[in-house]
């Protein structure tokens, strides 16, 4: 947790921030320190409070979707490298999509999707193996599905989860 950033932005909800950061700690403990994709880590951490929903609401208002695409920075590659120039430090502008990706993962994989993923991570499987096992979609198809899902939300065809 970056307390310096909090001190610079005291309007941030420290309780929400602590819940978010504790979700990271708990996930790291659950997977015994094994590698977890950034989108899954951040999307899951946003899911433990109303943060993810609020992040998507803010993105909706700020980015002003046009023709089903982000007009300002574009959708993020879930497995892409950190792009500080286009997507901010640690891909911070990707957080709405990371949240939506985890929500879509849960929708496609059912109520035990997150537990199945954690079990598979602990069994040494990569996320490229986990995605088809849990969602039925390979990584590229999941990325495209998340993009469609996000576009439906930002074009008022689905409610924000």
| Domain parsing of the chain, residue ranges | 3-154
Higher-scoring residue by pLDDT: 79, 61: 79
CA distance 64 to 100: 17
Residue 71's pLDDT is 42
Residue linked to tokens 């500080």: 84
Answer whether 0.75 is exceeded by the pTM.
yes
CA distance 117 to 135: 10
- For the chain, how far is it from start to end, CA to CA, in angstroms? 26
Mean pLDDT of 57-79: 64
Q: What would the pLDDT profile of 2-39 be if each residue is shown by its tens digit?
A: 566 666 766 667 788 788 888 889 998 999 889 899 99
Q: What would the pLDDT profile of 41-66 be if each residue is shown by its tens digit?
A: 999 999 988 889 988 888 877 665 44
CA distance 150 to 69: 9
Residue 17's pLDDT is 79
CA distance 39 to 127: 11
């Amino acid at each position: 947790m970056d307390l310096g950033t909090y001190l610079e932005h005291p309007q941030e909800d420290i309780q929400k921030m602590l819940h978010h950061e504790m979700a990271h700690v708990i996930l790291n403990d659950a997977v015994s320190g094994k590698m977890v994709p950034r989108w899954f880590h951040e999307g899951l951490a946003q899911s433990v409070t109303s943060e993810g929903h609020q992040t998507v609401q803010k993105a909706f208002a700020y980015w002003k979707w046009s023709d089903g695409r982000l007009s300002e920075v574009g959708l993020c590659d879930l497995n892409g490298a950190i792009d500080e120039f286009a997507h901010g430090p640690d891909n911070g502008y990707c957080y709405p999509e990371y949240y939506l990706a985890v929500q879509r993962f849960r929708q496609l994989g059912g109520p035990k999707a997150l537990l199945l993923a954690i079990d598979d991570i602990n069994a040494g499987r990569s996320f490229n193996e986990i995605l088809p096992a849990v969602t039925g979609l390979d990584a590229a198809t999941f990325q495209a599905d998340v993009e469609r899902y996000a576009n439906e939300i930002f074009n008022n065809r689905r409610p924000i989860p």
